[in-house]
Chains A and B, each alone.
Chain A
Amino acid sequence: MKPSAPDGGNPLRSPADRRLPLVAGPCALVIFGVTGDLSRKKLMPAVYDLANRGLLPPSFALVGFARREYSNEDFAQEVHDSVRQHARTEFREDVWAQLSQGFRFVAGDFTDDAAFDALAATVTGLANERGTGGNTAFYLSIPPGLFPLVVQQLKRSGLATQGREGWRRVVVEKPFGHDLASAQDLNQVLGEVFPSGSIFRIDHYLGKETVQNLLALRFANTLYEPIWNSNYIDHVQITMAEDIGIGSRAGYYDGIGAARDVIQNHLMQLMALTAMEEPVSFSAEHVRIEKEKVLASVVLPDDLAAYTARGQYGSGWQGGGQVVGYMQEANIPKTSTTETYAAITLHVDTRRWAGVPFYLRTGKRLGRRVSEIAVVFKRAPHLPFAATDTQELGSNTLVIRVQPDEGITMKFGSKVPGTQMEVRDVTMDFAYGDSFTESSPEAYERLILDVLLGDPPLFPRHEEVEMSWRILDPILAHWAESGRPDTYDPGTWGPASADAVLARDGRVWRRP
Chain B
Amino acid sequence: MTTRLEGTTVGEIVRTINEERHRIGATATGMVLTLIIVTDEENQSDATRAASFSAMEHPCRIITMIPRPGRVDAQLDANIDVADTMGPGEIVRLRLRGELAEHAASVALPLLLPDTPVVVWWPTTCPDVPSADPIGNMGRRRITDAAAARQPLHALQERKAGYAAGDTDLAWTRTTVWRSMLAAALDQPFDPITRVDLSCERSNPSGLLLQAWLRNCLQVPVELHRSRGPGITGVTIHTKSGPIELSRPDGRTGRLSRPGNVTHDVPLPRRDLRDLIGEELRRLDPDDTYAEALAAVQQDTSAPRRRRTSRTTAEPASAPDPGSEATGQEQ
Contact = CB atoms under 8 A, between A and B. Distances in A.
Contacts of A98: 253, 264-267
Interface stretch (B64-72, B125-133, B158-166, B211-219): B211-219
Say which size band chain A's interface belongs to: 35 or more
B289 interface: yes
A384 B180 CA distance: 61
A20 B176 contact: yes
Contacts of A101: 265
A3 B183 contact: no
Interface in B128-187: 176-177, 179-184, 186-187
Contacts of A382: none
A334 interface: no
A3 B278 CA distance: 32
Contact of A438 (B56, B220, B265): B56
A419 B115 CA distance: 32
Given A19-B179, A58-B266, A94 B191 contact: no
B265 A25 contact: no
A386 interface: no
Interface string A436-473: 10110000000000000000000000000000000000
A13 B183 contact: yes
A101 B186 CA distance: 22
Interface in A398-434: 430-431, 433
A2 B269 CA distance: 30
Contact of A17 (B87, B88, B289): B289
Contact of A59 (B30, B264, B278): B264
B262 A436 contact: no
Contacts of B88: 435-436
Interface string A97-125: 11001000000000000000000000000
A130 B191 CA distance: 21
A92 B272 CA distance: 15
Contact of B179 (A11, A12, A59, A433): A12
A430 B262 contact: no
Contacts of A92: 267, 269
Nearest to B289: A17
B267 A5 contact: no
A98 B254 CA distance: 10
B85 interface: no
Contact of B265 (A5, A21, A97): A97
B261 interface: yes
B219 A2 contact: yes
Interface string B29-67: 010000000000000000000000000111100000000
A98 B88 CA distance: 35
Contact of B279 (A16, A19, A23, A433): A19
Contacts of B264: 58-59, 98, 130-131
Given A12-B179, A12-B217, A19-B279, A5 B190 contact: yes
Interface in A1-60: 1-3, 5-6, 10-14, 16-21, 23, 25-26, 51-52, 54, 57-59
Interface of A: 1-3, 5-6, 10-14, 16-21, 23, 25-26, 51-52, 54, 57-59, 92, 94-95, 97-98, 101, 128-131, 133, 430-431, 433, 435-436, 438-439
Q: Which 6 A-B pairs have CB atoms at the shortest separation, nearest pair first?
A: A58-B264, A6-B189, A23-B184, A12-B183, A17-B289, A439-B57
10 contacts: A1-B217, A3-B217, A10-B187, A12-B183, A21-B180, A54-B267, A101-B265, A131-B261, A430-B30, A436-B87
Given A13-B183, A59-B264, A94-B252, 10 more contacts: A3-B220, A17-B179, A19-B289, A58-B256, A58-B265, A94-B269, A131-B261, A133-B188, A435-B87, A439-B57
